[in-house]
Amino acid sequence: MTTSSEPTPRRVAFIGLGVMGGPMAGHLAAAGHDVTVYNRTRATAQAWCDTHGGRLADTPAEAARDAELVFACVGRDEDLRAVTLEADGAFETLGSGAVFVDHTTVSAEIARELADAARSRGAGFVDAPVSGGQAGAENGRLAVMAGGSEADFAAAEPVIQVYSARVVHIGEAGAGQLTKMVNQICIAGLVQALSEGVDFAGRAGLDIERVLEAIGGGAAQSWQMDNRARTMAEGEFDFGFAVDWMRKDLEICMAEARRNGATLPVTALVDQFYGQVQARGGGRNDTSSLIRLLSQP
């Protein structure tokens, strides 16, 4: 029986079942929601259904039909446009009163475009990019930054909470994506600084565990230090948020900066470093692999 602390079961669709979307949709199913899924690679969607139940749709339009909430977590602007506005896209069947929630990290422009398109159908839209990586998705501990109207956010938030540790409404459509850009700008500089610090400690002959114990409770502490410093020192990078995706995100950040006049010198430099990691074949490694440019110049 549903208690006051549990969201009422809803008819939901989830489009995109990658390393983020798959676990997020799994949390929705585990919470008792009626989930229909679509994934470009059908075998992935079938495997998800075999594990979690739910229904498999052949198109985004089929997935969205009769859904109260439609979630998406795909790749880039063009991928999101394909599953929403193009033939057999979710907006073909998005019902009046439904809310489309996009968890993809994309441009603020497409967020506003989709908000307008949803509104023309009598539906709602929330741009809700996430932070926390694959582990955050699997553990239901994501940080979600949301843009959209108060009403649309209120309709979506109780369901988003199922896989989130924090959900914050920032402002109107596009504000969630702009906040995600701030997040990625901050992370880029942190990872580079942490790479330099860990490499310096190693070259100085220090015990990295004792170094982290000493500085981890002070002003240098960060999520990146807590979760990546040790694996950096050990040369482990086959996990986490891929360099390829970080470069995609930083491209979005710098394009927006050109529009709003912001100056991002550190972000631009770190983006170049990530380009070097890609050129060495490390595009699928975790973003903490930046340290390789220092340890293996």
DSSP state of 265: H
Contact present, 249 and 75 (Cβ < 8 Å): no
Angstrom distances, CA of residue 113 to CA of 116, 151, 168: 5, 18, 22
Task: Round to whole Å and give the CA distance between 148 and 125.
Answer: 6
Of 10, 103, 169, 180, which is the active-site residue?
A: 180
Instruction: Tell me whether residue 248 is one of the annotated catalytic residues.
Output: no
Which residue, chain included where needed, has tokens 């949803």?
Answer: 118
Contact present, 285 and 242 (Cβ < 8 Å): yes
Which residue, chain included where needed, has tokens 């959900």?
Answer: 167
Task: Round to whole Å and give the CA distance between 179 and 128.
Answer: 10
Token reading at 137: 């998705």
Task: Round to whole Å and give the CA distance between 15 and 233.
Answer: 37
Residues with Cβ within 8 Å of residue 200, at least 6 apart in sequence: none
Contact present, 60 and 32 (Cβ < 8 Å): no
Beta-sheet strands, E only, within 27-92: 34-38, 55-56, 69-72
Residues with Cβ within 8 Å of residue 207, at least 6 apart in sequence: none
Which residue numbers are catalytic? 180
